[in-house]
A and B are shown apart, each in its own frame.
Chain A
Amino acid sequence: MIVRLNTDIVAGLVGLAFAAALWLPRADMGRLSIIFPRAVLVILVLLSLILVLKGFIRPGERRIEITGSPRRLLVVIIGFFAWWMAIDAIGFLVSTVIAFYALTWYLARVEGVVRWQRLARWTPAILLLIGTFYLTFKEVLNVRLPTGLLM
């Protein structure tokens, strides 16, 4: 997918938005704590303004290209965040098994319909992989993985 977009202006606006988000909480800080962030913020704003200006006068790249399917991109982004939230709610192990299956199924559909028999054939590999990493992190590295409601 190709989108017509003046990247200079957009980059400048992103910089301004980022600076704005950090501008307000800056007010009630002590001298030693604010000296550096304030300097960077000022430079950030300046650079952003210059970029916006440059975008009008002598723009650089004026289109961006999302390679592949934007829909799959969006679904996977949402999927990742859902996975993250699920880890807190239902624990790492369960959510990962579900997320792993769901993602594999969804992504494999690029090559055509995925029958459940095929998914079933992948099961040992998927469970082995998740199990190995789960146990390594939990038992060897002593990481306290969230257990959530289930485990």
Chain B
Amino acid sequence: MDMLLQALSSLLTIESILTVLVGVSLGLFIGSLPGLTATMALAVLLPFTFSMEALQGLIALGAVYMGSIYGGAFTAILINTPGTPSSIATTFDGYPMARQGRAYEALAGATMASVAGGVVGVIFLLILAPPLARLAVAFGPAEMFWVAMLGLTLVASLSSGSLLKGLLAGCIGMMLSTIGVSPIGGETRFTFGFPPLQGGVELIVALIGLFVIPELLTMAAEGRGALPSGGEMRKRELSIGRIARQIFGKPVNLIRSCLIGQLVAIIPGAGGNVTSLVAYNEARRFSKDPSSFGKGNLEGVVASESSNNVMVAGSMVPLLTLGIPGAPPDAIILGVLLMHGLRPGIDLFTETGVLTNGFILSMGLAALMLLPVGLIGGRLIHRVVIRTPYYFLVPSIAMVTILGTFALRNSFLDVGIMLALGTAGYFLRLIGIHAAPIVLGLILGGIAEQGYVQTMLAAVADPVPWLRLVENPLSKVLAGLVLVGAASALIPIWLERSGRLAKVTDTTEANRNREGEV
């Protein structure tokens, strides 16, 4: 406790508060640009932190991290573009809300959810780090395979309309993930003899292409902006207070999403990219009115944004206790820790406890700072986006997209891949193959492949190798969850169908779907 107070006092200086404020704003800006990820934001900041004291440097990094994860929500809501992969699920309801003229409601909701999520994550980190870390390492290759399978059951809720087409999209995504160098085996795959393709299809490149370009093309074809201009902002009854009551009045959704965020965040390697999708899926599953999701339900935005901000501090659990980065940006923070001679482990909480606690608390401060920065910034950006005529908006967004895609890997080819996927995505959407399950496949393909092949390799000497997949208690539990998830996704569809078509007993359909799921 002493340590905590000491840490708090070292944090409450003008210098620290300013660092947090600047860090959060900077992170917000970078995170909101498609293509510029939290990892990149941290990498750019790294040289500046060398000249700072250990605590100040870490505070700056934590603040930028928090800001950039949150920043993704802006573009997700306003132009249907997740600025970072962690805000994919925010687009599902955020963008429909914006199209209905409720953009500010969505932005304010996202801000409050992010603040709540950020603070909850910090609390978890302060009091539950060691036991959570033990849980984190229980995820080995076999468990990761089941995590990926569990993720794939999300396809059912992501594919609006046809489940078959959703699964097809997921498979296309998984195939895209296999282009490049194979994670195990080290060979180049599907490069068609073209060296630059060894780099494969980067998730964020696909994400930008599949989400932004179809939106731009739609705007261009329709000859008008996607968001209704004016109106909304003047309505005073849409006060911050009302939105707050809506979110915190019935906090079940918020609490559930935070818990999910924390659980998923500690799974090394799956972390950030899936948290918001899982939380969204559960929010929908437990909602009284699941069909309103995807059409502008604030609960969807809240679930996504609260869970992904829990992830910021949440992924520090395995990092600070064991030195295992839970999400890509954590690798950079690990580098900084080591550089200052701080070795992750229990010493970090005892010997250098003041510093560690100061860092953790600063993330809480950063989360709180999101509230004013987010509400004011959100209002500004919202105004800019709806007032800008669409014929400026389309080339501007296109330019930022091209720059962001290029900046990711300094790759000219990536820009082409982004445009090609985006154009394809526009037409695929017309025939019912949506972007979200493709991206989901792309995220999970790599995780599934690695988990499966690693497990099989480890079991070379076993008589029945694939039994390794369900050897540990945790993998059994996860496999069970996959079955439950698949069933709960399929049974309602099947019931509805057999109810409506009472006379045609369509068992083949159900069988067929089950096949696809496994």
Contacts and interface: CB of A to CB of B under 8 A. Distances in A.
A72 B431 contact: no
A127 interface: no
Contacts of A125: 392
B433 A66 contact: no
B171 A40 contact: yes
Contacts of B457: 32
Nearest to B508: A50
A25 to B, nearest CB: 5
Contacts of B331: none
Contacts of A142: 44
Interface in A86-131: 87-88, 96, 99-100, 103-104, 107-108, 110, 122, 125, 129-130
A40 B431 contact: no
Nearest to B216: A76
Nearest to B165: A11
B391 A104 contact: yes
B432 A103 contact: no
A60 B515 contact: no
Contacts of A31: 185
B428 A14 contact: yes
Contact of B162 (A14, A40, A60): A60
Interface string B382-407: 00000001111011101110110011
A133 B448 contact: no
Contacts of A29: 182, 185, 187, 189
The dominant DSSP class at the B interface is helix
Given A30-B185, A36-B178, A66-B430, A103 B394 contact: yes
B217 A60 contact: no
Interface string A1-43: 0000101101110110011001001100111111111001101
Interface in A63-96: 64-70, 72-73, 76-77, 80-81, 83-84, 87-88, 96
Nearest to A105: B391
A51 B169 CA distance: 12
B211 interface: no
B14 interface: no
Contacts of B187: 29-30, 33
Given A50-B512, A84-B415, A100-B399, A110 B410 contact: no
The dominant DSSP class at the A interface is helix
Contacts of B161: 60-61
Range for the number of chain A residues in contact with chain B: 35 or more
B223 A110 contact: yes
The listed residue with most B CB atoms (<10 A of its CB), out of A50, A69, A99, is: A50
A77 B431 contact: no
A67 B222 contact: yes
Contact of A32 (B184, B216, B402, B432): B184
Contact of B431 (A11, A104, A107, A129): A11
A67 B406 CA distance: 30
A36 B453 contact: yes
A43 B217 contact: no
Contacts of B394: 76, 103, 107
A96 B399 contact: yes
A44 to B, nearest CB: 4
B419 A80 contact: yes
B175 A7 contact: no
Contacts of B220: 68, 72-73, 76, 107
Interface in B264-311: none
A146 B412 contact: yes
A103 B391 contact: yes
Nearest to B424: A14
A104 to B, nearest CB: 5
Q: Report the 9 A-B pairs with minimum CB-CB distance, sorted nearest first.
A: A68-B221, A68-B222, A33-B185, A107-B391, A32-B185, A33-B182, A110-B223, A36-B449, A73-B221
30 contacts: A11-B165, A11-B431, A11-B433, A12-B168, A14-B428, A30-B185, A32-B185, A33-B182, A33-B186, A36-B178, A36-B452, A37-B189, A40-B445, A66-B430, A67-B221, A68-B221, A69-B221, A69-B223, A73-B220, A76-B216, A76-B217, A87-B402, A87-B412, A107-B220, A107-B390, A129-B399, A133-B399, A143-B403, A143-B406, A143-B407
